[in-house]
Amino acid sequence: DTAVSQTPKYLVTQMGNDKSIKCEQNLGHDTMYWYKQDSKKFLKIMFSYNNKELIINETVPNRFSPKSPDKAHLNLHINSLELGDSAVYFCASSQNRDTNQPQHFGDGTRLSIL
Amino acid sequence: GNSVTQMEGPVTLSEEAFLTINCTYTATGYPSLFWYVQYPGEGLQLLLKATKADDKGSNKGFEATYRKETTSFHLEKGSVQVSDSAVYFCALRTQGGSEKLVFGKGTKLTVNP
């Protein structure tokens, strides 16, 4: 069983559209994250939720809105998509907020803006 | 701020060669340190970790030792295989409630038969 699963795996859409990426973890973890990986493979945190509560928002444009309906899910909605949003988006989870807890990553969603 | 610097790639080795990927960090307090690996087309997987000075993390033949005096966490493997070809990321998380992982820029390793 996949521990952290995200859908869709690939997303190709036009500039200006609105799209959502879903993430679910079946590990019973309290904390979930969204990361963005750019074309040069650089990874940067976007958001983090702990027990459905937003705890990190890393200077991300407000076109990006995360939503956590329960602690097993963290979805990412993006409004008015721009060319610069093209990237791979990774969802991750960890047992809790302790810094020695590793994060478990999904396989990524490759977003391409035409 | 907190940051991670790892050696620029790409790194190309022959099978059974010795691997070192350098990683140094800047952090307030005492971070936990991690190496993640990303195989082509996949997400990141935790390779190993160390949570305090002088700890050695190891997994699948890879090792890294947390060196506080040199603020380093270099990744090593004695004999690489073709299947080790991937991008390797060094990362840290700091104490005091900062949950995010701060990543290095990644080092692409290619191992040729």
Encode pLDDT of A12-58 as tens digits.
Answer: 999 999 999 999 999 999 999 999 999 888 899 999 999 988 888 88
- Give the confidence band of A7 by pLDDT, cuts at 50, 70, 90: very high
- Determine the average pLDDT of the residues in A97-108: 87
* Cα separation, B34 vs A92, whole angstroms: 15
Positive or negative: CA dihedral A105, B85, B21, B67: positive
Whether the per-residue pLDDT at B90 is higher than 90: the answer is: yes
| Cβ neighbours of A40 in B, within 8 Å | 105
Identify the CA nearest to B30 among candidates B99, B104, B95, B102: B95
Cα angle: B104, vertex A99, B47; to 5 degrees: 50
Q: How far apart are the first and last CA of chain A?
A: 34
Q: Is B11 an 8 Å CB contact of chain A?
A: no
Encode pLDDT of B13-55 as tens digits.
Answer: 999 999 999 999 998 878 899 999 999 888 899 999 999 999 9
User: What pLDDT was estimated at residue B95?
Assistant: 66
Strands A109-113 and A10-13 come out as parallel
- Determine the average pLDDT of the residues in A85-95: 95
| Cβ neighbours of A92 in B, within 8 Å | 44
Report percent pLDDT > 70 for chain A: 98
**How far does CA B17 lie from the centroid of its chain?**
18
Write down the mean pLDDT value for chain B. 92
User: What pLDDT was estimated at residue B92?
Assistant: 92
Identify the CA nearest to A34 among candidates A113, A112, A111, A108: A108
Whether the per-residue pLDDT at B97 is higher than 90: the answer is: no
User: What pLDDT was estimated at residue B8?
Assistant: 82
Nearest residue in chain A measured CA to CA from B108: A41
Query: Residue written as tokens 């590990």?
Result: A27
- Determine the average pLDDT of the residues in A64-93: 95
* Cα separation, A9 vs A109, whole angstroms: 4
Whether the per-residue pLDDT at B94 is higher than 90: the answer is: no
What residues pair up with A50 in beta bridges, in sequence order? A31, A53
User: What pLDDT was estimated at residue B64?
Assistant: 98
Whether the per-residue pLDDT at B98 is higher than 60: the answer is: no
Task: Judge: A102–B49 Cβ closer than 8 Å, yes or no.
Answer: yes
